[in-house]
Amino acid sequence: MSTPTQLPSFWSRLSLAFGTFFKTIGDAEFAARVRDDQVGPIAAPAPAPVPTPAAAPAPVPVQLREATPDAALQLLTLLQREARLIDFAHENLSAYADADIGAAARVVHEGCARVLKEHFTIAPIRTEAEGSRVTLEEGFDASSVRLTGNVVGKAPFKGTLSHRGWKATDVRLPQLAKEHDASVLAPAEVEL
């Protein structure tokens, strides 16, 4: 179990992101908890409560918008087509040697990278190098920067950039025909 000062590696974060993505698609109750921001890390014990020095002001109510699953299903279809991601995730890896798993992971990685490059323009949120000291002035965008560690008081905050973050600056998903069934992620194949 990691401590609050030990941040997860890139691969741990990637695994967590994929796990959350698929659990959200497959579990409506989990998706509702994510939407309502009541979910922490998947399968991790709840952290011990940390005492806060002062009560925070009441949050401003957030206007929620309905998300349709079509775009998520379309992305999942592209990741399956190019990277065989669903096949890889459903495979029982315990019977394979690490070298075989690594070779398969390389194919999945290359396919995922191809989908990201073809359908998204992704840019870092922060331009500083990871490990740099940064100052967040009052009014910083809390949706773009997550504070971790011992968060006490109010801005300006001084800390170390542990991850630059990512944002999609352009999305180029193919258009879907009206009668297209987006829930078909990969059609069954029958060889004749």
DSSP element (H, E) containing 74: helix 70-83
DSSP 101: H
* pLDDT tens digits for range 86-111: 999 999 999 999 999 999 999 999 99
In this structure, are residues 76 and 86 in contact, taking their beta carbons and an 8 Å threshold? yes
| Residue 157's pLDDT band (cuts 50, 70, 90) | very high
**By the 8 A CB rule, do 184 and 72 touch?**
no
Instruction: Note the pLDDT tens digit of each residue in 65-82.
Output: 777 888 999 999 999 999
168 versus 1: the higher-pLDDT residue is: 168
Q: How confident is the model at residue 21 (pLDDT cuts 50, 70, 90)?
A: low
Kindly give, in sequence order, each residue whose CB lies less than 8 Å from that of residue 28, ignoring residues fewer than 6 positions away.
Answer: none
Mean pLDDT of 157-172: 95
Identify which of 142, 184, 144, 141 has the alpha carbon closest to the alpha carbon of residue 165: 144
* pLDDT score for 129: 95
Alpha-carbon span 95 to 115, nearest angstrom:
29
